[in-house]
């Protein structure tokens, strides 16, 4: 950077030699000076290359580190907070915004610093040449600075608004792409198109405001510069007349003056980018300020082997203070028992699961596993002992073996066993590459039944004592359904199972059925007992909220 900067006054001095030599027709001197200038340029550009490449690495690392820490933060974010952030918006922040911050840091070191140094060194040279002339030049600087910073603030505001529009657009796009079948099914395309049109219109306007400000900035700053240079020429002529400067010195001075334009314009652009980068950084910081899952208690004990006894002791919970979702819920599940939860949607069944996984913590009452309060356990241990088979079998892309292991250390043998339990080994081994076959994004190259069995295998891999099962409501064909049921049956054996049940066969096999309504258990008993009782359960069966299976 220093080599690069010091070359500028050297070049200005050479210009001072060159211009009068050209005027005097001293061809030899012209030739020598041009050769020297070429050599200086060569050194300078080589230095610039070295500086740029040396700085690019660390700057990119900053982006990477930013992304890495924020993603780690995102993984621990509170689910309530996550729901409020749209996936598209988050994606934008972690890609575009993180890149922008890295770019600004790069620019600041790679461009802003040498520009500022160049300004100082060249100005120093000008003062040395003729301080009076330099003083006149310097008087123009505050005007430029004031203009620049005034504009900068406005550009920043406009840039922030326009970035917000982009992420809103991304949010809408994400929603639209995911919901496209639904939109088509409701023939809602015109409605969606209109929403989209409005959004892109807002986006265009916000961008336009930014661009207009930028467009205005360049001519204004450019005009001030031009006027300044003309003024300097005038004063310079007066100084030569007064004998304070010779023509060589004045040529060097003008060359040096021209060398100020570049760094000033770089500094203005970079200043704007710097402010845009600050807007990005602020948006990234917001992720950091979102609440995360509370850490384990410092005195949390390891769990050890688990029998699988679950107790809820007068548990009450609400996502917000004023709206209870679970109300004074008590229940006891012996190790190896199977309990079916039934009830209309919104009754609180999934919320109960979220308490058992400690995604949420009860405001009142206690949840106990083998007699130990979940709050006293380490989340990691708990989630090894309690496994979830979700309703929609989200399987990550990667190989089949990776999807089952899901980041846990597991031998091929253990993966195979889990697959066997889940009744998945048959179809996996029939694949050309077996356990190394690739699963595409969203599991698009596997059938629904296969994905469900993979999700079951993933759940049983660590041999959890407790299985939380959210039965799929979407109908599979009879054959696939039977394969999944077979896998589930094997997976459930000798485990405590809580199942959000939609199928008659499941509830008939349950040791206990709990009917949940508005966060309360309104009935409990076996299928036959509850049918005989003729209450809510029977109604649910008759309204076919519990299905006859496939």
Residues near ligand ADP (CB under 6 A) are 80, 83, 319, 325, 343, 345-351
Structure letter (DSSP) for residue 186 = T
Nearer to ligand ADP, 166 or 545 (CB): 545
C-alpha 146/C-alpha 152 separation (Å) is 10
- Spatial distance between the Cα atoms of 100 and 280, rounded to a whole number of angstroms: 7
The tokens describing 96, both together, are 């575009």
Residues 336, 493: Cα–Cα separation, whole Å: 8
Q: Supply the minimum distance, in Å, between the C-beta of residue 327 and ligand ADP.
A: 11
Question: To the nearest whole angstrom, how small is the minimum distance from the Cβ of residue 498 to ligand ADP?
Answer: 12
Q: How far is the CB of 512 from ligand ADP (least distance, A)?
A: 17
Sheet strand arrangement including 496-500: 386-389, 466-470, 496-500, 338-342, 512-517, 520-525
Alpha-carbon distance of 232 to 254, in angstroms, equals: 8
Determine whether 522 is exposed, middle or buried from the number of CB atoms within 10 Å of its CB (0-12, 13-18, 19+). Answer: middle
Backbone φ and ψ for 327, nearest 5 degrees, come out as: -125, 105
> What is the smallest separation between the CB atom of 162 and ligand ADP, expressed in angstroms?
32
Nearer Cβ to ligand ADP (128/319): 319
- CB nearer to ligand ADP: give 65 or 83: 83
> How many CB atoms are closer than 10 A to CB 261?
14
Give the nearest distance from C-beta 517 to ligand ADP in angstroms: 9
Cβ 134 vs Cβ 241: under 8 Å:
no
Q: How far apart are CA 417 and CA 17, in angstroms?
A: 85
Measured CA to CA, the distance from residue 19 to residue 12 in angstroms comes to: 11
Shortest CB 347 distance to ligand ADP, Å: 4
In 409-527, at which residue ranges do the beta strands (DSSP E only) sit? 438-439, 466-470, 496-500, 512-517, 520-525
Contact indicator for 112, 270 with CB cutoff of 8 Å: yes
Q: Which residue's entry shows tokens 């020429």?
A: 233
- Taking the complex as a whole, how short is the minimal distance between the CB of residue 343 and ligand ADP, in angstroms? 6
To ligand ADP, the closest distance from the beta carbon of 80 in angstroms equals 5
Task: For ligand ADP, give the closer residue by CB, 88 or 348.
Answer: 348
**Distance (Å, whole) CA 7 – CA 229:** 22
Query: Which residue's CB is nearer to ligand ADP, number 264 or number 501?
Result: 501
Please tell me the distance from the alpha carbon of residue 129 to that of residue 250, in angstroms, as a whole number.
8
Shortest distance, CB of residue 349 to ligand ADP, whole angstroms? 3
Q: What distance in Å separates the CA atoms of residue 467 and residue 486, rounded to the nearest whole number?
A: 16
Nearest CB to ligand ADP, comparing residues 483 and 515: 515
Complex with ligand ADP: residue 306 or 497, whichever CB lies closer: 497
Measured between its terminal Cα atoms, the distance across the chain in Å is 73
The nearer residue to ligand ADP, 50 or 346, going by C-beta atoms, is 346
**Nearer to ligand ADP (CB atom), residue 391 or residue 437:** 391
The token pair at 298 is 């410092």
Query: Please, what's the b/e burial string for 320-354 (b: 16 or more CB within 10 A of its CB; e: otherwise)?
Result: eeeebbbbebebebeebbbbbbbbeeebbbbbbbb
Nearer of residues 241 and 323 to ligand ADP, judged by Cβ:
323
Alpha carbons 252 and 249: distance in angstroms, whole number: 5
Q: Please, which residue, 324 or 448, has the CB nearer to ligand ADP? A: 324
Residue 392 CB, shortest distance to ligand ADP, in Å, is 13
In angstroms, what is the minimal distance from the CB of 77 to ligand ADP?
13
């Amino acid at each position: 950077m220093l080599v690069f900067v010091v070359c500028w006054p050297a070049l200005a001095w050479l210009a001072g030699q060159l211009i009068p030599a050209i005027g005097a027709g001293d061809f030899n001197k012209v030739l020598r000076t041009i050769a020297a200038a070429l050599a200086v340029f060569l050194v300078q550009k080589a230095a610039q290359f070295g500086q740029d490449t040396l700085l690019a690495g660390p700057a990119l690392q900053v982006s990477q580190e930013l992304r890495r820490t924020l993603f780690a933060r995102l993984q621990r974010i509170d689910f309530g907070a996550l729901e409020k952030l749209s996936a598209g918006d988050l994606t934008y922040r972690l890609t575009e915004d993180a890149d922008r911050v890295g770019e600004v840091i790069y620019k600041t070191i790679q461009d802003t610093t040498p520009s500022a140094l160049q300004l100082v060194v060249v100005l120093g040279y000008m003062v040395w040449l003729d301080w009076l002339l330099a003083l006149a030049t310097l008087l123009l600087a505050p005007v430029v600075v004031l203009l620049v910073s005034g504009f900068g603030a406005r550009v920043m505001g406009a840039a922030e608004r326009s970035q917000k529009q982009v992420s809103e657009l991304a949010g809408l796009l994400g929603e639209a792409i995911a919901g496209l079948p639904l939109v088509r099914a409701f023939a809602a395309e015109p409605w969606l198109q209109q929403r989209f049109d409005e959004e892109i219109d807002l986006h265009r306007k916000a961008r336009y405001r930014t661009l207009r400000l930028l467009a205005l900035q360049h001519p204004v700053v450019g005009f001030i510069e031009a006027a300044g240079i003309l003024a300097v020429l005038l004063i310079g002529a007066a100084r030569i007349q007064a004998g304070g400067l010779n023509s060589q010195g004045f040529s060097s001075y003008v060359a040096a003056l021209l060398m100020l334009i570049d760094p000033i314009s770089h500094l203005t652009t970079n200043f704007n980018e710097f402010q845009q980068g600050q807007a990005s950084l602020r948006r990234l910081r917001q992720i950091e300020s979102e609440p995360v899952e509370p850490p384990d208690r410092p005195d949390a004990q390891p769990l050890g082997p688990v029998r699988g006894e679950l107790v809820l002791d007068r548990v009450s919970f609400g996502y917000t203070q004023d709206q209870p979702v679970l109300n004074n819920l008590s229940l006891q599940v012996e190790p190896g028992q199977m309990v079916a939860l039934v009830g209309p949607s919104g009754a609180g069944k999934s919320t109960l699961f979220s308490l058992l996984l400690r995604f949420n913590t009860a405001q009142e009452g206690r949840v106990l596993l083998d007699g130990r309060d979940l709050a006293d356990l380490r989340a990691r241990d708990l989630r090894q002992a309690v496994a979830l088979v979700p309703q929609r079998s989200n399987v990550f892309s990667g190989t089949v073996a990776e999807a089952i292991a899901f980041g846990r250390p597991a031998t091929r043998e253990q993966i195979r066993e889990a697959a066997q339990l889940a009744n998945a080994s048959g179809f996996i081994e029939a694949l050309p590459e077996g356990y190394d076959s690739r699963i595409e994004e969203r599991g698009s190259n596997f059938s629904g039944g296969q994905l469900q069995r993979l999700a079951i295998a993933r759940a049983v891999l660590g041999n959890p004592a407790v299985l939380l099962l959210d039965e799929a409501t979407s109908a599979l064909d009879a054959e696939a359904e039977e394969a999944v049921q077979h896998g589930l049956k094997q997976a459930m054996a000798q485990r405590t199972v809580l199942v959000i049940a939609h199928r008659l066969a499941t509830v008939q096999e349950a040791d206990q059925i709990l009917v949940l309504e508005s966060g309360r258990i309104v009935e409990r008993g076996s299928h036959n007992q509850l049918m005989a009782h003729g209450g809510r359960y029977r109604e649910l069966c008759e309204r076919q909220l519990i299905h006859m299976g496939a």
